[in-house]
Amino acid sequence: MQYTRDRLGELLLRAGVITEDQLLDALAQQQISGGKLGQILVQNLAVDEDVIARTLAEQKGLEFISLAMFPIDREAASMIPARVAERSLVIPVGFRDGSLVLAMADPLDVEAIDDVHLRTNKTVVPVVATATQIQYAIEKFITSADAFEGIVPADEADEAEAPAVAVGDEDVPIVRLVNQLIREAVLDQASDIHIEPGAHGVRVRFRVDGVLHEVMTAPSSARAGLISRVKVMAEMDIAERRRPQDGRIGLVVNERPVDMRVAALPTPFGENIVIRLLNHEASQQTLGDLGMSAEHLEMVEKFLSRSYGEILISGPTGSGKSTSLYAALMHLNSPTRKIITIEDPIEYQIAGITQMAVHASIGLTFASLLRTVLRSDPDVVMVGEIRDVETAQIATRAALTGHLVLSSIHTNDAPSALTRLTDMEVAPFVASSALIGVVAQRLVRKLCSSCKELKRLNRVMLTDRGFAFDELRVKSVYEKRDGGCDKCHGTGFRGRTGVFEIMPMDSELERLFLASAPSEAIRSAALAAGMKTLRADGLDKVAAGVTSLDEVARVVL
């Protein structure tokens, strides 16, 4: 194939993508500050980089690909070093008839094509992709591939002799591998990293928007060092492999502070590691950012306007309870209120609020700290989780003595929170007097606004997902597009939002609770009083085009 030395500006001008004035301005800026012309045009908002890439592909008769949806071959990506890829903004993405497929932001860069050909000794087939996607792919594939280099195969059974790599040893291969995994997780906006040893390797998965995705399989030879490195970073005992352990890591990744909670569980093939990445943006969310309807938002604000009583947030692990509690604290935070929290651990620091951490090993439990806190004249107390009888009883009684108490509890829905308090030996007459209301919640993925598709609703679409035909009274709903788009990285979803079930206490619910009625009777009374279920709130978000039927069915059915 013959490559001609066309100029990017001339091609874009000829295609009508930019004006002559825009080109002259960009060229003048390039003369002063240097840099690539395409990047300058994008920075000046003269043209979108996706338009540049597609125009270049069309003008040169090349294929345009979206790396968000393209299955990148890790073997191909590892054929050139990261410094070469970053310098020329190129990445090998696969093989085609014995040739190397090279994604390029600038297919006019003949020198880059020649360089890759000389390094790999393969014929190069250039394709075009956006600069942003190539940079992301370099971080994800080439840097992680480089991290495997130099890992020496070790005796898998002799895990006790795995080297305890110091935190500062950044040139050690296993250190580069762990750092790259964390960097990838931050780039992917993952909430968790799962490192799972098996018989034939170590599987690594990320949880993104609540769904697990496999990102790589590390060789068995890397297992001992990988686990030891994470445990050293989390200040855990690397010699203890028979008992579960917890730890914490604090790093700065791409100039962004990242806090991580680490849990290690013993398995027959080595310790299973879960790293939870804490989202600092969650601490800045307001009640209006949670995805509540206007009706639900008004109810919660009314709960929080009370001077005393107990408000419970319920749901399983990973349902956003902590985010909702922090949003409530942000709503209440003011110079006129003394707010104290008891957390395990403190996830986000909030100015103006006194925060305390649980340390069970030295006797600082939720219950013992709560007793101390109540002697410190608080107006509002947040207990991270009600998980035992003593904490439940003290928190509930505190709500009757002039304190507004916020906490979370693990139940499947709002009415079940009442029976859960009874199980924790809280007297019904105490709980019914203290409780203001219960907020049950789940998280659903939001449809990508750039690629979601409108489809006509029919009976089969509802019944196949477990809904009745009359539950959703709209003619059309939005669904995710197969393959997604660049902006959602091919998933069809971007971000998450909450679905809620809010149950305020009223006289009828108090009567049933005092009579030790089952949760179904309490649920029926709450529905009769107008409570909207998680299912109904989810379907309202489907009708509004926020999420899909499949998402609601996955989360609430």
What DSSP letter does each residue of 245-305 carry, written as one string? EEEEEEEEETTEEEEEEEEEEEETTEEEEEEEEE-GGGGG--GGGTT--HHHHHHHHHHHT
Residue 301 has pLDDT above 50, yes or no: yes
CA torsion 312-314-317-321 (nearest 10°) is: -50
Sequence-separated (6 or more) residues with CB below 8 Å from residue 259: 248, 249, 250, 277, 278, 280, 347
- The burial class, CB within 10 Å (0-12 / 13-18 / 19+), for 297 is middle
Confidence of residue 147 (pLDDT cuts 50, 70, 90): low
In the prediction, which pLDDT does 222 show?
84
Contact by Cβ (8 Å): 178, 226: yes
- The burial class, CB within 10 Å (0-12 / 13-18 / 19+), for 28 is exposed
* The residue type at 146: D
As a whole-number percent, the residues of the chain with pLDDT over 70 amount to 92
37-83: per-residue pLDDT in tens?
777 777 776 677 778 888 878 878 889 888 877 778 878 888 888 88
In the prediction, which pLDDT does 167 show?
46
For residue 409, the 8-state DSSP code is E
Sequence-separated (6 or more) residues with CB below 8 Å from residue 76: 92, 93, 94, 95, 100, 101
In the prediction, which pLDDT does 447 show?
95
Phi/psi of residue 210, nearest 5 degrees: 85, 0
What DSSP letter does each residue of 61-97 carry, written as one string? T--B--TTTS---HHHHTTS-HHHHHHHTEEEEEEET
Residue 161 has pLDDT above 70, yes or no: no
Q: Which residue has the tokens 């004035």?
A: 21
Q: What is the H or E stretch that residue 176 is in?
A: helix 173-187
**pLDDT, greater one: 188 or 543:** 543
In the prediction, which pLDDT does 57 show?
84
Q: What is the H or E stretch that residue 436 is in?
A: strand 435-447
d(CA 398, CA 405): 7
In 3D space, the residue among 219, 333, 316, 322 whose CA is nearest the CA of residue 261 turns out to be 322
Q: Which two tokens stand for residue 459?
A: 């009976």
260-280: per-residue pLDDT in tens?
889 999 999 999 999 999 876
Q: What is the pTM of this model?
A: 0.75
Distance of CA 248 to the CA centre of its chain: 18
The region of weakest confidence among 129-138, 159-168, 230-239, 327-336 is 159-168
107-126: per-residue pLDDT in tens?
888 899 999 999 999 999 99
**pLDDT, greater one: 458 or 6:** 458
Q: Which two tokens stand for residue 13?
A: 């001008």
